[in-house]
Each structure stands twice: as C-alpha cells, then as structure tokens.
Amino acid sequence: MLTFRTTSLLSLLQIVLAVNIPFFADIDVTKDIAQHIACKDADPDTFASFRYGDGPPEVVQFNQCVQIRRDGQVMTNAVYCKPATCYPFADESCMEGPSTPLPIPFPAPFDSLDVADFSELLGQSAYCSPNGMPNPLGALPGFLVQLVVAVNIPLVGDVDATKDVAQYKACKDADSDTFASIRFGDGPPEAVKFNQCVPFRRDGQAVTNAVSCKPATCYPFADEGCTVGPSAPLPIPFPAPLEIFNAADFAELSLGQSAYCSPNNIPSPLGSLTGLLEQSLSQMSYKITVRIYQTNPNAFFQVVEKTVWNYANGGTWTESNGQHVLTMGGSGTSGTLRFLSDNGENFIVALGVHNYKRWCDIVTNLKNDQTGIIINPQYYNSGPRAYQREKQLSSYDVNNAQERNFAVTFTEGDGHDLACNIIIG
C-alpha cells in the first residue's frame, strides 16, 4: 500500500485545490473510510458514494444515471467500494451520447477528488456497470503486470525500479528541455522535449510506455502532426516522476493521434517514494574491474590515459590491488584505457554498458592525435564507432600493424559488478 509523507500530502492537496484537477488515490482513512464502509455495507448493487458540494454522501447503484452537477452543486468526490466501468453522456439524463467513444474503468477501493470539472468536459452525466478490476494502487506487481497485458488499459504509477529507473535517470540527466522518455513497441527509449510533437503511433508501433522526469501539461491533437485540433478541450497535466504503460490505445480512442507538452509545476502524487527512487538510482551504477596481462616480453605497455564518457552521470577510474576499476553512474556510458609501449605501439580499449549489457572494443594503430578523449565520444551520437557499442560484445580481439594481438574478455559479464581481462600478445 502506498504511503504519503504529511508534507507531501498537504502540498499535493493544495495543488489539487488550486488548479482543480482530478486526483485519484486510495481511500482517505481520515475522511472517507466511513463513506466507503457505508457503500460496502449497502446492497450488492451499490458501488459508490458521491458528494455534491458540501452535502452528505449519497450511495449510487449500478446502471443508475448520475448527474455530474445537480442543483448548481458540482460532484466534489466519489468513493468506490466496487469496481465499475462508467459511460459518460452529453446530457444530464444519460440519454444523449455517450460523449466519449470509450467507457472509463474504475477499480476499487478508490477515492477521487475534484473530478467533476474534468468530467463535465467529457459529459454531463454517467451510468456505471460492474467490472472485475482490482485496485492498481494495491495489487501485487506480478498480478498487476498480468492485468495490464491482459486488458491493455493505461496504468499510471511510480517509475518501475526494476526496469525503467535507468530510463528515468537518462531523462533526468538530459538537457533541461527533456521531460520524458518513451518507447514505441519493443524499441529503445527515446527522449522527448517540451513542445516536441509526439505521435501516439509511429510506423505501426504504438507508444508502449512513457517515463516522465519533469512535470508537463500535454495538449492532444486529432492528427499525427499536432496541427489539427486540439481534439480534447482540456490540457492534461502530468506530474513527475511518473510512468505510464499501454497509454497509446486509450489516448488514440479518447484524445487524438499526437500531443505536445509544456512545463508545469505539479509534483508527483506518488512522490513520497522519491527517496526509494533515488536509492534505486544509486543501485543502478555499474563497476568494471580490469586486469591486464602481458604475455610477450619484447615490448612493455603501460596505461597512459584514462577517460570516462559523461552520460549516466559519468564515472571514475580508480586502482585497487593492481587492477583498474571503472565505476559508472548507470547504463549508457563507458570509459577507455589508452596504452603505449616502449617501442611506440599503442592501442585503446573501450569498456561500457549499453542498454544494461556490457560491451567492449579495441582500437589499434592510433595516430598521435587519436587520444582517448577523441576516441571515447565516437561511440555515441551516431559516431563512427557507435556500431561497436551496439553489438554489446562480451569479448573482442584484433591484431595491429605489427601483427601483435590484443584481446579483451569479460570474465563476469552479468549484473552490475563486472570484470574483464585485457591480454596483450
């Protein structure tokens, strides 16, 4: 069950009251638990308890038409004691419409605040039917993943520390205009900047997840190029950090085909877990311990330069027990060792982690101006050596112009504590 720090909850409620956006959460035990119990103890057809303005709670039954606004009083909160799928209508009597092409599922137990102003943009009334959806804020992660895959509904939650925390970190470490990282289908993560048009589907692949690292307000459009519309009358605010799964199918049906987003200052309602997230980030660091072996006494090689690429918070080189140790902030960066022998032969070994897997490369026959600080960037930003990083090799060997063999092999290639041997022939 999610918990909130008192200060985080108070600041969140202030924001909700200030901007009057819908807020969804577990039942508020200090206020609405009695309302939830009354709903739960009613007859089997009762699924929720609503309040209009400051009025008393009123129970609502399945397939009962509910007005979003009544006698000038807006619906201020709704407590669900049973899961329901609700169908909004354009009029106040559930006769015209539905105004949206997709029913809206609600799990239970569930509490929503200040939802009516938003709901009125979808319609003026609604009726709800039963569904079998558990509460996504209380379900076990394994079952939750099965549910999302089975019914393909959008899921909003904290960043998944087991999978996408590195994606969140890459977003957070990017330039100030980057606010999210998205994936199309099974493709790699792609950074998204403020005011960049993002299609919900590209080359037949839908956006399968989005990780936000900065708060944003998004404006949906009816076409794929953010030129027709907007199709929805209300900009949609997203806090951060936040992760959304399977959002594209829902967005295409109810909102449009594309969107662009501008900055806002709404913190994550799940942001009380920021400490846990930062802890997860620290656990995403990688270490590569390097041992160097020279098998031929006809030349003596020594390390003359060490570099670290600046992605994923960069990293450091240290030495321990005669070994060289590269520590990196996360997946997505690398380092190099440049070697020079007493007879003038030279080479560079590049080591790193790409998409959570180790990789390696060796560059021989270096010119005098080909130092590590020149070679290391060539593995990034579509550089001439990026293909070697993308291979994610666990070993590599090559001969130089003098037919001397150089090899690198990972002896520990899984996890975060990696090790490799460099062998100079």
**pLDDT tens, residue by residue, 134-148:** 443 333 233 333 333
**Claim to verify: residue 65 and residue 183 sit in the same structural domain:** no
Beta-ladder partners of 317:
326
Lowest mean pLDDT among 266-280, 313-327, 386-400: 266-280
Distance, CA of 100 to CA of 127 (rounded, Å):
13
Side chain identity at 299, as an amino acid letter?
A
**Claim to verify: residue 34 and residue 115 sit in the same structural domain:** yes
pLDDT confidence bin for 154, thresholds 50/70/90: very low
Lowest mean pLDDT among 12-21, 127-136, 297-306: 12-21
**Claim to verify: residue 305 and residue 418 sit in the same structural domain:** yes
8 Å CB contact between 205 and 289: no
Closest CA to 263 of 167, 164, 176: 176
Tally of domains in the chain: 3
User: What confidence score (pLDDT) does residue 252 get?
Assistant: 52
Distance, CA of 148 to CA of 235 (rounded, Å):
25
For residue 22, being part of any structural domain is answered with no
pLDDT confidence bin for 271, thresholds 50/70/90: very low
Distance, CA of 178 to CA of 171 (rounded, Å):
6
Radius of gyration of the chain (CA): 28
Closest CA to 246 of 100, 148, 140, 141: 148
Within 114-272, residue ranges assigned H as helices are: 116-122, 141-151, 165-173, 247-254
**Claim to verify: residue 314 and residue 407 sit in the same structural domain:** yes
- Is the torsion defined by CA of 18, 24, 29, 33 positive or negative? positive
User: What confidence score (pLDDT) does residue 109 get?
Assistant: 62
For residue 207, being part of any structural domain is answered with yes
Distance, CA of 43 to CA of 27 (rounded, Å):
20
Which pTM does this prediction carry?
Answer: 0.42
**Claim to verify: residue 305 and residue 417 sit in the same structural domain:** yes
For residue 76, being part of any structural domain is answered with yes
**Claim to verify: residue 96 and residue 186 sit in the same structural domain:** no
User: What confidence score (pLDDT) does residue 369 get?
Assistant: 94
For residue 21, being part of any structural domain is answered with no
Closest CA to 209 of 246, 173, 174: 246
**Claim to verify: residue 119 and residue 218 sit in the same structural domain:** no
Q: Mean pLDDT for the chain?
A: 74
For residue 74, being part of any structural domain is answered with yes
**Claim to verify: residue 243 and residue 307 sit in the same structural domain:** no
For residue 366, being part of any structural domain is answered with yes
Tell me the percentage of the chain whose pLDDT exceeds 70.
66
Closest CA to 58 of 66, 21, 86: 66
**Mind listing the pLDDT tens digit for each residue in 77-115?**
777 778 787 777 777 887 776 544 456 766 666 656 555
Lowest mean pLDDT among 131-135, 190-194, 302-306: 131-135
Q: State the CATH number of the domain containing residue 228.
A: 2.60.20
For residue 363, being part of any structural domain is answered with yes
Give mean pLDDT, residues 202-228: 80
**Mind listing the pLDDT tens digit for each residue in 409-418?**
999 998 889 9
Q: DSSP letter at 266? A: P
Within 192-347, residue ranges assigned H as helices are: 247-254, 274-282
| Structural domain of 192 | 161-263
**Claim to verify: residue 69 and residue 178 sit in the same structural domain:** no
Give mean pLDDT, residues 389-393: 94
8 Å CB contact between 149 and 208: no
**Claim to verify: residue 119 and residue 169 sit in the same structural domain:** no
For residue 358, being part of any structural domain is answered with yes
